[in-house]
Structure 1
Amino acid sequence: MVRKQSNLPAAGNGRSSLSALQPIDSTPFKRPSGLAFIWFTILLMWLLSLLPWRLWQSAPDLLLLVIAFWSVHEPQRVTMLTAFVFGLFMDVHDAGLLGGHALTYTLVAYGAVVLHRRLTRFNAVVQAIHMLPVFLVAETLGNMVYAWLSGEWAGWHWLWSTLLTAALWPLAEFLLHMPQRRLDEADAGSV
């Protein structure tokens, strides 16, 4: 009779199966971001979104990306109201259908707030994969409402914009958490 070998650790080696588990994100708890830094990044992206580079049809929506990022990492400070107001600002700037960007930004902020507990446990690439459907559903609904009210389909360029926005999530994670990393390194060096 052949006995199957078990992959479980032996009882005599001192490590149980539960102590061998590693957390998904092994970094210590991150300190909250400064309110001034959060609003500086949002206002900076809003000002950059007013420039003519957004006329390129496949341009990523950087303001939406930053609002979604802060909605995931600081949901008490960046709320759906923030997303709605900046969406209205973009609607007024584009002189298009009033409420189109506001609807999209609010839906993305809602999705980010709903997923924030899950997303903070993963790295930036996995977060981008989780946020891609949120971006796609919000943009699809916004474009369907626009097509219904205007009587014409705007095309599929928004799909590339949505994919680029989600692809930029790891870069946003790196840049927007840079001040916290510097503070964490300074704290680690003082010990």
Structure 2
Amino acid sequence: MVRSPHSESTRRPSGASPLSALQPIDASPFRQPAHPLFVWSTVLLAWLISFLPWRDWLAAPDILLLVIAFWCLNEPQRVSMFTAFIFGLSMDVQDAGLLGEKALAYTLVAYGAVALARRLHRFGAVIQAIHLLPVFVFSAMATHLIHAWLAGEWGGWQWLWSALFTAVLWPVADILLHMPQRRLDETDHRGAV
């Protein structure tokens, strides 16, 4: 069966170009990149929040780790694994613990967020949290195993709650940290209509 070049054009509605099939699935406008000042102010605010004494509770979520992972996923050119390593070292100094323990955890989470970025951008915040839960657990487990090996005793499983609470807070971080871009997109979309 030989097809003529005119047979496909007769099936297409008049005025429709083949490029119209390339429209994005989501009709909303694309999300604008975050302003660098906003990105770094949220990281610094989370770092300052980490100075509060509630962090001494073993099951407390690591807000700084959450914010760094979020920006490593969404703005990897601004917040990278190097940023995670530097802030992890600052947390080690702040906690007066083993130097490099938090730096390892933060770097592992940043690497996990960057490695899973293509997959995670396809899902909503809840599914992203489910995907990142093993990353949070693995990074916490690695640092606690090293700490247990060097200290000569196992510290218990309370750290697992911290990784779980950090993953549970991911949708909240997604809403709060994407809020300026969404507001900008909504005003741009209304102006275009």
Normalised by the length of structure 1, the TM-score is: 0.86
2:87 matches 1:86:
yes
- After TM superposition, give the deviation of residue 118 of structure 1 in Å: 1.2
Q: Distance in 2 between matches of 1:31 and 1:89?
A: 31
How do 1:18-167 residues align onto structure 2 when only pairs under 5 Å count? 23=25, 27-167=28-168
Q: Structure 1 residue 27: deviation in Å?
A: 4.4
Structure 1 unaligned spans of 5+: 1-11
Q: How large is the Cα RMSD of the aligned pairs?
A: 1.6
Number of the residue aligned with 2:179: 178
Q: Map Cα deviations across residues 58-102 of structure 1 (whole Å, 9 max, x no partner).
A: 100000000000011111111000000000000000001110000
Q: CA deviation at 1:29?
A: 2.1
Q: What amino acid is the match of 2:52?
A: L
**1:154 & 1:46 partners in 2: Cα distance?**
25
Shift of 1:26: 6.0
Q: Contact 2:30–2:185 at 8 Å: present in 1 too?
A: no
Paired with 1:168 and 1:75, the residues of 2 have a C-alpha distance of 20
How far apart, CA to CA, are the structure 1 residues paired with 2:37 and 2:110?
20
Structure 1 SS opposite 2:116: helix
State the secondary structure of the residue aligned to 1:141.
Answer: helix
1:40 is paired with a residue whose SS is helix
Q: Aligned equivalents of 1:26 and 1:60: distance in 2? A: 35
Of structures 1 and 2, the larger Rg is shown by 2
Q: Given the two structures, how large is their TM-score scaled by the length of structure 2?
A: 0.85
CA distance in structure 2 between the partners assigned to 1:119 and 1:98 by the alignment: 31
Q: Measured at CA, do residues 118 and 28 of structure 1 come closer, stay the same or move farther in structure 2, by a change above 3 Å?
A: farther
**C-alpha distance in structure 2 between counterparts of 1:149 and 1:26, whole Å:** 54
Gaps of 5+ in 2: 1-10, 14-20
CA distance in 2, matches of 1:26, 1:79: 30
Counterpart amino acid of residue 174 in structure 1: I
- Per-residue CA distance 1:15-60 (angstroms, 9 max, x = gap): xxxx8xx95x664421111111000000000000011010112100
Q: How many residues align?
A: 172
